[in-house]
Amino acid sequence: VIKCKAAVAWEAGKPLSLEEVEVAPPKAHEVRIKIVATAVCHTDAYTLSGADPEGCFPVILGHEGAGIVESVGEGVTKVKPGDTVIPLYIPQCGECKFCKNPKTNLCQKIRITQGKGLMPDGTSRFTCKGKQIYHFMGTSTFSEYTVVADISVAKIDAAAPLDKVCLLGCGISTGYGAAVNTAKVEPGSTCAVFGLGGVGLAVIMGCKIAGASRIIGIDLNKDKYAKAKEFGATECISPQDFKKPIQEVLVEMTDGGVDYSFECIGNVGVMRAALEACHKGWGVSVIVGVAAAGQEIATRPFQLVTGRTWKGTAFGGWKSVDNVPKLVTDYMSKKIKVDEFVTHTLPFDKINEAFELMHTGK
C-alpha cells in the first residue's frame, strides 16, 4: 500500500480537500501509476457541482493526467514498471463489439463499474481516514498515485513532457478529433466553433489542419479571441453584439450557413443554434460539449429534412489505446499544438485555485 497526497471531494459543492490517502496495490489486469501532471476540466467541475447523476462521493476526481507505471498486477502484458503512460477514461479492450467496430471508440468492457466509481472487480483501491473513496472516470488523476484497468492506459513516448501531454488525455484529443474524425472537415470549407475554451481551441486547430478556409469563433468572452486567432480562427464574434439570433447572423455571414459547426459548451440552446447555422443540403453540426443531466435538444425536424446532419462525439472518436500514443508523436513532431493550451502551471496543493481560473475563463 502506498500513502500519498490526493485531492479528495468529500461532498458535492465543496472545495477539494488535500488529504493523505492509501492506494492499494494493483490486482489482476490493473496498473498503478505515479501521476506526474494533471489538468483540470469542466467535466470534473460538473461532477463536483453535484449535477452529475453518476457522481458518487467521497471521490478522487481528475481524468487528464500523465505519469509513470509504478507496478502492475497479474496478467498485465502491455505495460511494465517505468513506462510512461496516459490514463484513459474511454478504454480500449479490443474484444467487445464496440472495439471491433471501426465506427466507434466507445469500449463498453468496464462501463458499468467505471460509472459506479469502482474498479472492474467492483471494489475501490483508495481509502482515506478509514473510508472507501470512489474512483472517477476510471482514472482519478487528482492523486499522486492511482490505479487503473490495464485497458485504460496508453503507453507513450518516454521523451514527452508530461506536464503538456496530460492534456491529450481529454480536451485536446476531443476537440481535434471532433474536427478530423467526427465531422471530417474538408479543405476549403467554412466552420463555426461555439465556445473558445480548451476544447473549442482544439476544434479550431483541427479545422485548420484539415484545410478549412474560414473558421468563425463564437464566444461571449472577447478575451478569448486573440488565442482563438492564434490557433487558426479567421474571425471571432459575440452573440451579444447582434439583435438577431446568432444562427441568423452566421447564415448571413456565410451565404447560407457554415459547412461544419461545433458546440463546445454543453448548452442545449447553443446546440440548436449550431445546427441551424449549418448550410442547407450538407451542413454538419457536431455536439462536443456535455450538457447537464436530463436536458434535451430541440429543433424543427425540417432542419434535418433539408439536409443538415446532427452528430455527437466522445473523446474525438479516437480509439484510445491505439491513437493516444500517435497523438503524442504528432505533438513531438510539431504536427499538433499542445504547449499553447497551457495558461497556468500550479503546484498540486493549489488545485482549487486551478478550478477558479477555469471558471473565470482564464
Q: What is the mean pLDDT of residues 318-346?
A: 97
Mean pLDDT, the chain, whole residue set: 97
Residues contacting residue 108 through CB under 8 Å, at least 6 positions apart: 96, 98
Neighbours of 214 (CB within 10 A): 17
Q: Grid coordinates representing 165?
A: 501531454
Q: What is the mean pLDDT of residues 53-68?
A: 95
pLDDT, one tens digit per residue, over 234-278 is 999 999 999 999 999 999 999 999 999 999 999 999 999 999 999
Element (H, E) at 30: strand 30-39
The answer to whether the beta carbons of residues 134 and 33 sit under 8 Å apart is: no
User: Which pTM was predicted?
Assistant: 0.96
Nearest to 313 by CA among 267, 262, 273: 262
Query: Under a CB-based contact definition with an 8 Å cutoff, are residues 75 and 36 in contact?
Result: no
Q: What pLDDT, on the 0 to 100 scale, is given for residue 362?
A: 87
For 24, residues 6+ apart whose C-beta sits below 8 A from its C-beta are: 1, 125, 126, 127, 147
Helix (H, G, I), strand (E, B) or coil at 262: strand
Q: How far is CA 109 from the centre of its chain?
A: 20
Domain boundaries, the chain: 2-169+319-352, 174-313
| Residue 335: band (very low, low, confident or very high) from pLDDT cuts 50, 70, 90 | very high
pLDDT at res. 52: 85
At residue 119's C-alpha, the angle toward residues 34 and 110, to 5°, is 115
**Mean pLDDT of the 88-94 span:** 98
Q: Which residues contact 326 (CB under 8 A, 6 or more apart)?
A: none
Pairwise CA distance, residues 257 & 283, whole Å: 8
* Nearest partner of 84 among 155, 141, 17, judged by Cα: 155
The pLDDT, as a whole number, for residue 243 is 97
- Lowest average pLDDT, out of 59-68, 277-286, 287-296, 309-318, goes to 287-296
DSSP category for residue 259: S
**CATH no., domain 174-313:** 3.40.50.720
> What would the DSSP string read from start to end of 79-131?
--TT-EEEE-SS---S-SHHHH-TT-----TTHHHHHTT--TTS--SEEETTE
Tell the CATH topology of 2-169+319-352: Quinone Oxidoreductase; Chain A, domain 1 (3.90.180)
pLDDT score recorded for residue 256: 98
Confidence class for position 108, pLDDT limits 50, 70, 90? very high
Residue whose entry in the numeric block shows the C-alpha cell 505519469: 67
C-beta separation of 205 from 191 below 8 A? no
